[in-house]
Homo-oligomer: A and B are copies of this chain.
Amino acid sequence: VNLIILTEADSVGGNRYRLTDSRAEHIRTVLRLQIGDSAQIGLVNGPVGEARIEQLDDTEVVLICGEFQKLPDPLPTVDLICALPRPQTLRKVLITSAMMGVRNLHLVRANRVEKSYFHSPLLAPAKWTPYLIEGLGQGKLTRLPEVQIHERFRSFFEDTFPALERGEKLPSVRLLPHPEATKAIHGVYDGRSQRLVVAIGPEGGWVPFETELMESVGFKPFRLGPWVLRVEHAVTAVLAQIELARMLPL
């Protein structure tokens, strides 16, 4: 972890924050900090800064935050739509999304998503937030991704998604990595738009009905590469290619 992420729930008044969970454990056993040492911290959805360890024992760590610094320039806005993966993959997708600056994560049903996945205990904010916090700490970011669950594929793409888009100030480029596409990402995204939406399919892929519906609401298929990737690798690979597309000369 490169940044210790603090939330409002950790605040004990003034500039003091009290940690009792895996972050306290991390400070003790991985960073091996002691009373008086400094640590890099970030406030959820807020600035980053430095804190001093005021108290540290087996049960808790108390930090006093000093001055906060200006945040780095924001990343481009990328929203991720992901066919709900099985819980062990979802944990990785949550960490990666936060680490790489995803703004909204929409978890949707799809034909090849097992129904049981929607009953996972992980699908509750109190359960998924620690994975997001872990990802933010790794990526040195503080904006917590918003996670939403959509139990119906069709109504998400026909109703919810268009309504969300109407509420946005910037138009979006909508990307659909697809093994049968022929164009690479620079053929469908010129690197200029600062708002993107990417849809990642389930293990085994989307079925034709699904890709047709997504294309009808503006998603553009592109070829990510020659590989067959796991969902969590596809997320990283797409975000890496978006970043390169942004750096290409126009």
Chain A positions within 8 Å of B, measured between CB atoms, are 2, 72, 75, 96, 99-101, 138-141, 184-186, 223-230, 233, 236-241, 243-245, 247-248
Contact = CB atoms under 8 A, between A and B. Distances in A.
B185 A230 contact: no
A240 B236 CA distance: 8
Contact of A240 (B99, B186, B237, B248): B237
Stoichiometry, as copies per complex, reads: 2
Contact of A224 (B75, B227, B240): B240
Contacts of A101: 226-227
A138 B244 contact: no
Given A139-B229, A225-B243, 16 more contacts: A2-B228, A75-B226, A99-B227, A99-B228, A101-B226, A138-B230, A139-B228, A184-B244, A184-B247, A186-B244, A226-B243, A233-B236, A237-B240, A241-B244, A244-B245, A248-B248
Contacts of A140: 228
A109 to B, nearest CB: 21
A186 B229 CA distance: 23
A184 B245 CA distance: 10
Nearest to A238: B240
A67 B2 CA distance: 52
B248 A186 contact: yes
25 contacts: A2-B228, A75-B226, A99-B227, A99-B228, A99-B229, A99-B230, A100-B229, A138-B229, A138-B230, A139-B227, A139-B228, A139-B229, A185-B244, A186-B244, A186-B248, A223-B247, A224-B240, A225-B239, A225-B244, A226-B243, A233-B236, A236-B236, A240-B240, A241-B241, A244-B245
